[in-house]
Amino acid sequence: MIKDLHNKLINHEITAVQLTEEYFARIENKDKAIFAYLTLMKESALEQARKVDAKIAAGEEIGILEGIPGAIKDNLCIEGVRTTAASKILDNYFAPYDATVITNLKEAGAIFLGKANMDEFAMGSSTEKSAYGPTKNPHDLGRVPGGSSGGSAAAVASDEAVWALGTDTGGSIRQPASFCGVVGLKPTYGRVSRSGAIAMASSLDQIGPITKTVEDAAIILSVISGRDNLDATSAKSFAKDYTSYLTGEVKGLKIGVVKGYLDNLSAEVKASMEKVIASYREMGAEIKEIELPNAKYSLPVYYIIMPCEVSSNLARFDGIKYGMRVDDHKDSVVDFVDMDRNLLENYLDSRRYGIGPEPKRRIMLGTYALSSGYYEAYYLRAQKVRTLIKQDFEKAFAEVDLILTPTTPTPAFKLGEKTTDPLQMYLEDVFTITANIVGVPAISIPGPSVEVDGKKMPLGFQLMGKWFDEENVLRAAHAYEIHPVK
């Protein structure tokens, strides 16, 4: 889709201004129902579009992303733009700098339509936890789009953006991509700089694209990846054109299917996965059953490590350093002793009114697990099991090139269906979190749709690859995309 629009721009079939206005018109028409966006950036978007049109008029060459409109998840900083992470405590926060991925996209000439809705501080699997209201699934407005990057996925699925950026801590790009019928890529940990992303869990977070096609995901990854001196965890990887690996062939690739992963799925989801496996066999890939014996511990490991890192990262949001400040005594004159008391009250009140119930729950879980007497029993033990899971993946990747799993155990569920039971919501991550725990690249691709209450709903499947082998992940995903299931 990006290449098609690029060709239209350079062939003068459409101008960048016309394209941008077309997308804003769609947002105006659709987004009241879907609520994919929290903040629109119309003025700066049209200004960038005019610059692109001026270059084309002058006969200058433009890059593949120049003039192509996209959406940015609202936990990624854009200088001078309101950045809330869908939390009231950051309601009046305007970022003073660009995230590195934003810098890269600006240099590529991309256009930003606005900031997309999300679960508060990226904590959720349905985008119902946004402090500003839930996003709806474009395929069925009574269902969730997934989370936490639900606004980004819904914007792409509803044609309110050509592409979008999301963040993925335990499946927050791939799960909404599956629910909304689009492509979602979580790169290898370190492939893309996290500088300028509002951190949730620093050893798990990764920024990646949500797009209509695998080729578009490869285009975005080519722009946003690479070493960054502002992020000590970014890898020494060099810029490359990932679209050059999209050969359409999977012959010779060994794809692993995890023993037991399909046993407890619903009949519809299992049938969808079996069609995907058959498709890869027909294309010439070798399908091999593998074992990940410690992967069954991934969910408890994740829900110990992640809250611990949340507890650390969200300590900075106290109503003093950033965002909303609740101060009932701002007009009073107090002595030094009273000032100490009022500072504590500011901390407590700002967090009480500024932070929602899900972040509070995870902060408390993490603080407890890190506390004296419990650190070794919980956090340290979880990190040891994390190492065992990583070793399982190393053994598996000695036998296969890729691992194929469902992205989610179910298609999109109804709004409100799981909000009262956090454990049921957490189980939505059961297939996706392992990629974050071990740091491998993973992609969700739309598979055969399934019938839900008499209606066809999208459902994705997931491919996980070896560390820093986005090339084969994208190659196999693209091959499936261009060879429809029979």
Catalytic positions, written as ranges: 73, 148, 172
Strands 37-40 and 111-116: antiparallel
Backbone angles phi, psi at 238, to 5 degrees: -100, 155
Q: How far apart are CA 78 and CA 101, in angstroms?
A: 10
Question: Across the strands, what pairs with 76?
Answer: 197
Strands (E), 51-182: 69-73, 111-116, 163-168
Distance of CA 76 to the CA centre of its chain: 11
125, 148 Cβ separation under 8 angstroms? yes
Q: Smallest Cα–Cα separation from 10: which of 53, 69, 70?
A: 53
Backbone angles phi, psi at 308, to 5 degrees: -60, -45
For every residue of 118-139, DSSP letters joined together read -SGGG--SSS---TT----BTT
Distance of CA 228 to the CA centre of its chain: 20
Helix (H, G, I), strand (E, B) or coil at 14: coil
Q: How far apart are CA 100 and CA 310, in angstroms?
A: 22
Distance of CA 481 to the CA centre of its chain: 20
Backbone angles phi, psi at 354, to 5 degrees: -95, -20
Q: How far apart are CA 62 and CA 368, in angstroms?
A: 53
User: Both tokens of residue 328?
Assistant: 């009932």
Q: Smallest Cα–Cα separation from 214: which of 23, 483, 485?
A: 483
Q: How far apart are CA 32 and CA 158, in angstroms?
A: 12
